[in-house]
Chains A and B, each alone.
Chain A
Amino acid sequence: MKAIGNHISIIAANIKGKVSINEDILPHSQSILLTLSSINIAKTFPENSGPNHSSTTKSLENIWSEKDLFSIAMKDSVEKAKDLVLSSESGDRQNIAKSLGALGKTCGSCHNKFRKKKN
Chain B
Amino acid sequence: MAPVIINLEKRKIKKVIILLFIFIILNKNDAFSTENGKILSFVAGCYGCHTSNAEQPFGGGYKIKTKFGVFISPNISKDSINGIGTWNKEDFIKAVKKGISPNNKPYYPAFPYNWYINMSENDILDIYEYIYSLPAISNKVTNHNLKFPYNIRELLWFWKFTEKIVSNKKYVDNNKKNNRGEYLVNSVAHCGACHSPRTFLSIIKDYNNLSGQKESSKILNDGIPNISNDINNGIGLWSNSDLIFFLQTGIKPNGDFAEEDMSIIIENGTKYLSPNDLEEIAKYILKNNN
Contacts and interface: CB of A to CB of B under 8 A. Distances in A.
A73 interface: no
A16 to B, nearest CB: 4
A108 B241 contact: no
A97 B249 contact: yes
Interface of B: 215, 222-223, 239, 241-242, 244-245, 248-251, 253-260, 263, 267
B249 A104 contact: yes
A33 to B, nearest CB: 15
A18 B267 CA distance: 24
B44 to A, nearest CB: 22
Contacts of B249: 12, 97, 100-101, 104-105
Contacts of A119: 215, 222-223
Nearest to B258: A108
A109 B263 contact: yes
A104 B256 CA distance: 8
Nearest to A9: B255
A47 to B, nearest CB: 27
Interface string A70-100: 0000000000000000000000000001001
B24 to A, nearest CB: 33
Interface residues of A, number: 26
Interface in A1-55: 4-10, 12-13, 15-18
Given A12-B245, A15-B245, A112 B259 contact: yes
A83 B182 CA distance: 37
B205 to A, nearest CB: 23
B260 A117 contact: yes
A12 B251 contact: yes
A67 interface: no
Contact of B259 (A4, A9, A108): A108
A8 B222 contact: no
A103 to B, nearest CB: 9
A104 B250 contact: yes
A13 B246 CA distance: 12
Contacts of B242: 16
Contacts of B244: 16
A65 to B, nearest CB: 20
